[in-house]
Amino acid sequence: MNSAAWIEKADKYIMKTYGRYPLVPVKGEGCYVWDADGKKYLDFLAGVAVNNLGHCHPAVTAALSKQAHELIHCSNYYHIPQQIELAELLCSHSFADKAFFCNSGAEANEAAIKLARRYSREKHGSDRYEIITALSSFHGRTMATVSATGQEKVQKFFDPLLHGFRHVPFNDAAALREAISPCTCAIMLEPIQGEGGVVVPDASYFQEVRKICDENGLLLIFDEVQVGMGRTGKLFAYEHFGVTPDIMTLAKALAGGAPIGTMLATDEIAQAFVPGTHGSTFGGNPLVTAAGIATVNTILSEGILNRCEEIGEYLMGELEALKGRFPIIADVRGIGLMIGVELNAPGGDIVKKALERGLLLNCAQEKVLRFVPPLIVGKKEVDEMLATLTDILEEMK
């Protein structure tokens, strides 16, 4: 069936929760995908920072295939070896002592919200329940994570929102300190805002945030759903800022494209979860955790982090050069291979023109082109993308 036929069928049967582009991917390999008509595309979106190892990485597909022939799912009433091994990997390479597995970033953030509230209730009493988050943040699409998200467009039409969240400007420690009340139990932030427009805070910001938390007995939650798993050139983005959180959430790239989420926490805080307080039917099942093990081991053993840092610096430099040539580019920012190009005009037309030329890009906050290619990308693919982007910008002069 060709792309047009698939799109016609989608219009008939699929709910319109996305403004979908006229693209029907059916095959992927490395940094490229092919549509149902056989057209090839260079992917600089990577499933929105999911396919950090590219499409169908051999280590991930082998792990999935092997596990699918052995055991796909069993209940969390039992001990799952792959889940245990992945938890050990993540904890041994982070601040954390314990892991909870689920299926998505929103679920991981739900778990973090519940854990923070329960821990604070046990330690400080029932009045400590509020969580401070940032304006322009994005934490998910469930009712709790929509309430935590600091974007009106995400919250619109879903009132009443869940009580207990305050929103302050990102990268503003003074505003954060002022928002603390006797009811505050935690501060929940993305180390780098992704959906918010690839916003990188000042180097000292999280130092001050950590200090505020320590002075007030608050938990610090880092949402690393988009920025974790090597995206910034380190396994976890918090490593750039010289602070450690008390709770951290991961998802997107954790299993190379398989649906997974996890919440990591220190042992003291994790003890607030006991049997019956939280759970997930499919969370951490053998199939996805086998893919997660393969993904993490590949990131750690194949020089992916160094490559991300090196290619990220190259891409940033080339995009800065384009800024000097094209007035439409207002700013270039990012860390590693999480890069935003802020425009002086909406970027939707650029994304559409790129798609027509076989390049997959994305626009956040209407005016920020977001570059989150697979971490295996090389200079050849970067140069190919830059040539296409340059042609589009020349055409739009």
pLDDT tens digits for 140-156? Answer: 999 999 999 999 999 98
Catalytic residue among 101, 138, 165, 273: 138
Same domain, residue pair 263 and 147: yes
> Are 250 and 320 members of one domain?
no
In this structure, what CATH number is given to the domain that contains residue 229? 3.40.640.10
User: Based on the domain organization, do 297 and 157 belong to the same domain?
Assistant: yes
Region 272-296: what's the mean pLDDT? 97
Q: Does 397 have pLDDT greater than 90?
A: no
Residues 256 and 126 in one domain: yes
Q: Do 296 and 322 sit in the same domain of this protein? A: no
Q: Residue 375: which pLDDT band, with cuts at 50, 70 and 90?
A: very high
153 is catalytic: no
* Predicted pLDDT of residue 186: 98
Would you state the pLDDT for residue 300?
96
Mean pLDDT, the chain, whole residue set: 97
Give every CB contact of residue 183 below 8 A, 6+ residues apart in sequence.
127, 128, 129, 130, 164
> Do 64 and 161 sit in the same domain of this protein?
yes
Q: Domain count of the chain?
A: 2
Task: Kindly name the residue from 252, 353, 367, 371 that is annotated as catalytic.
Answer: 252
Helix 81-92 with 286-301: angle, nearest 10 deg:
30
Residues 134 and 256 grouped into a single domain: yes
Q: Are residues 11 and 135 in the same domain?
A: no
Instruction: From 283, 261, 255, 269, select the one nearest 77 (Cα to Cα).
Output: 283
- CA-to-CA dists, residue 384 to 224, 311, 349, angstroms: 29, 14, 19
Instruction: Give the end of a domain, one of 250, 269, 301.
Output: 301
- The pLDDT value recorded for residue 259 is 98
Exposure of 278 in the CB half-sphere (CA atoms within 13 A): 25
Can you list the positions of beta strands (E) in the chain?
25-29, 32-35, 40-43, 98-102, 130-134, 165-168, 184-189, 219-223, 247-250, 261-265, 329-335, 338-343, 359-360, 362-364, 368-371
d(CA 307, CA 294): 18
**156 Cβ contact partners less than 8 Å away, ≥ 6 residues apart:** none
Q: Band of the pLDDT at 51, cuts 50, 70, 90?
A: very high
Q: Are residues 29 and 50 in the same domain?
A: yes
Identify the burial level of 376 via C-beta atoms within 10 angstroms of its C-beta, where 0-12 means exposed, 13-18 middle and 19 or more buried.
Answer: buried
Give the structural domain span for 345.
Answer: 3-57+303-395
Are 211 and 175 part of one and the same domain? yes
Rounded to an integer, the average pLDDT of 326-355 is 97
pTM of the model: 0.96
| Domain boundary pick from 301, 330, 358 | 301
Cβ neighbors of 394 (< 8 A, separation 6 or more) are none
Residue 323's domain is classified under what CATH number?
3.90.1150.10
Residues 297 and 308 in one domain: no
Task: Check if 223 is active-site.
Answer: yes
Q: What pLDDT is stored for residue 165 in this prediction?
A: 98
Which pLDDT does position 10 carry in this prediction?
A: 97
Average of per-residue pLDDT across 106-127 = 96
| Per-residue model confidence (pLDDT) at position 322 | 97
Q: Which of 35, 43, 223, 246 is catalytic?
A: 223
Query: Tens digits of per-residue pLDDT, 211-269?
Result: 999 999 999 999 999 999 999 999 999 999 999 999 999 999 999 999 999 999 999 99
- What share of the chain in percent tops pLDDT 90? 98
CA–CA separation, 75 and 55 (whole Å) = 29
Tokens of 267: 């042992």
Average pLDDT over residues 82-102: 98
Residue 313 CA to residue 339 CA, distance in Å, equals 10
Read off the pLDDT of each residue in 380-384 and give the average, rounded to a whole number: 98
Same domain, 320 and 258: no
* Spatial CA neighbour of 221 closest among 131, 141, 123: 131
Is it the case that residue 43 has pLDDT exceeding 90?
yes
Last residue of a domain, one of 254, 283, 301: 301
